Structure 1
Amino acid sequence: MKYAAEFRDPTAARALLARIAARAEGLGATRARPIRIMEICGGHTHAIFRYGLDRLVHEGIEFIHGPGCPVCVLPMARVDECIEIAERPGVIFTTFGDAMRVPGRRGSLIAARARGADIRMVYSPLDALELARRNPAHEVVFFGLGFETTTPSTALTIQAAAREGIGNFSVFCNHITVPEPIRVLLEDPHMVLDGFIGPGHVSMVIGIHPYDFIAQDFGKPIVVAGFEPLDLLQSVLMVLDQIAEGRAAVENQYARVVPERGNPVSLAAMADVYERRPSFEWRGLGEIDASGLRIRPAYAAFDAEAKFGVGYGAPGRPAAPEPEAEGCACGAVMTGRMKPPACPAFGRGCTPETPLGALMVSSEGACAAYWQYGGARAAAE
Structure 2
Amino acid sequence: MLDLRVFENRELAQRILMAITREAEMIGREVRLMHVCGTHEDTVTRSGIRSLLPENIKIVSGPGCPVCITPVEDIVKMQEIMRKAREEGEEIILTTFGDMYKIPTPRGSFSDLKGEGYDIRIVYSIYDTYKLARENPDKLVVHFSPGFETTTAPAAGMLEAVAAEGMENFKIYSVHRLTPPAVEALVKQGTNFDGLIDPGHVSTIIGVKGWEYITTEYGVPQVIAGFEPVDFLMGVLLLLRMIRKGETRIENEYTRAVRYEGNLKAQELIGRFFEVRDAKWRALGVIPTSGLELREEWKELDIRNIYRVGVPKLPDLEKGCLCGAVLRGLALPTDCKLFGKECTPRHPVGPCMVSYEGTCSIFYKYGALF
CA contact (8 A) 1:79 1:103 kept: no
Amino acid at match of 2:183: I
SS in 1 for 2:286: strand
Q: Deviation at 1:287?
A: 0.6
CA contact (8 A) 2:33 2:60 kept: yes
SS in 2 for 1:251: strand
Q: Distance in 1 between matches of 2:121 and 2:280?
A: 26
Q: Distance in 2 between matches of 1:321 and 1:187?
A: 26
SS in 2 for 1:120: strand
Q: Distance in 1 between matches of 2:316 and 2:154?
A: 32
Q: Deviation at 1:338?
A: 1.1
Q: Distance in 2 between matches of 1:267 and 1:103?
A: 32
SS in 2 for 1:149: helix
2:302 counterpart of 1:303: yes
CA contact (8 A) 1:42 1:66 kept: no
Amino acid at match of 1:332: A
SS in 1 for 2:306: helix
CA contact (8 A) 2:282 2:316 kept: no
Q: Distance in 1 between matches of 2:188 and 2:163?
A: 41
CA contact (8 A) 1:23 1:241 kept: yes
CA contact (8 A) 2:81 2:308 kept: no
Q: Deviation at 1:86?
A: 3.3
2:54 counterpart of 1:61: no
1:263: which partner in 2? Answer: 263
Runs of 5+ in structure 1 lacking a partner? 311-315
Q: Deviation at 1:317?
A: 2.9
1:283: which partner in 2? Answer: 282
Length-normalised TM-score, structure 1 = 0.93
1:339: which partner in 2? Answer: 332
SS in 2 for 1:294: strand
Q: How does 1:107-122 map to 2 (within 5 A)?
A: 107-122=108-123
**Alpha-carbon displacement from aligned partner over 1:169-223 (angstroms, at most 9, x marks no partner):** 101011100011111110123x211001001100001101221122112212010
Q: Distance in 1 between matches of 2:246 and 2:2?
A: 37
After the TM superposition, which parts of structure 1 deviate over 4 Å for at least 4 consecutive aligned residues? none
CA contact (8 A) 1:50 1:373 kept: yes
Q: Distance in 2 between matches of 1:351 and 1:122?
A: 24
1:158: which partner in 2? Answer: 159
Q: How does 1:1-381 map to 2 (within 5 A)?
A: 3-29=3-29, 34-87=30-83, 88-89=85-86, 90-189=91-190, 191-277=191-277, 279-310=278-309, 316-318=310-312, 320=313, 322-374=315-367
CA contact (8 A) 1:207 1:258 kept: yes
Runs of 5+ in structure 2 lacking a partner? none
CA contact (8 A) 1:77 1:322 kept: no
Q: Distance in 2 between matches of 1:331 and 1:238?
A: 29
Percentage of pairs with the same residue:
39
Alpha-carbon RMSD across the aligned residues, in angstroms, is 1.5
CA contact (8 A) 2:132 2:141 kept: yes
- Count of matched residue pairs: 365
